[in-house]
């Protein structure tokens, strides 16, 4: 009998703006503290992390602006959709991130929200914000690469 292959983690939300607006230097996996019926809403993919960010306040890692919609059958057990949520990391890692965040133009942005071994995890990226001209340069590079690939493909088709 062959061993069971590990299933890939179920991704509930991704932050597409993060890779566009930031140069991600490193990423970290964190747990998240949820209350009430938030887990049921997250499993139903009723969550948005597009405008959220993380910050170290008083030695705790907190996630701001993550929107978890209220669970339809939650009733009085629902909590505020845009509340501040605590992220779970080891003390040494939080202290290290706190030191890095004091550097110029560094911030913590959530890249994706996923489930692993029955627990909801947040992948945080330590990123440096891109300036508008840097974004334009990336777009220009991407377009020239596409044009070059098209030219190579048409050239290969003609030579056959």
* Residues 78-91 pLDDT 10s: 888 888 999 999 99
Cα–Cα separations (whole angstroms), residue 73 to 33, 76, 154: 21, 9, 57
% of the chain at pLDDT higher than 90: 40
Torsion sign (Cα): 84, 89, 91, 96: negative
Three-class SS of residue 75? Answer: helix
Task: Choose among 73, 72, 69: nearest CA to 81.
Answer: 69
pLDDT at 130: 81
Min mean pLDDT across 2-6, 89-93, 123-127, 156-160 is at 2-6
**pTM metric for this prediction:** 0.76
How many angstroms separate the CA atoms of 10 and 117, rounded? 10
How many angstroms separate the CA atoms of 96 and 105, rounded? 16
């Amino acid at each position: 009998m062959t061993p069971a292959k590990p299933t890939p983690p179920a991704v509930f939300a991704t932050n597409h703006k993060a890779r566009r607006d930031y140069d991600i230097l490193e990423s970290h996996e964190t747990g998240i503290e949820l209350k009430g019926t938030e887990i049921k809403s997250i499993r139903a993919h009723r969550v948005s992390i597009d405008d959220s960010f993380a910050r170290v306040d008083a030695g705790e890692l907190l996630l701001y602006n993550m929107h978890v919609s209220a669970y339809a059958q939650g009733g009085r057990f629902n909590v505020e959709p845009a509340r501040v949520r605590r992220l779970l990391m080891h003390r040494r890692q939080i202290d290290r991130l706190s030191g890095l965040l004091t550097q110029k133009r560094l911030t913590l942005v959530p890249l994706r929200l996923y489930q692993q071994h029955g627990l909801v995890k947040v992948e945080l990226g330590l990123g440096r914000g891109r300036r508008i001209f840097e974004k334009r340069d990336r777009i220009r590079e991407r377009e020239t690469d596409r044009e070059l690939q098209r030219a190579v493909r048409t050239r290969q088709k003609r030579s056959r």
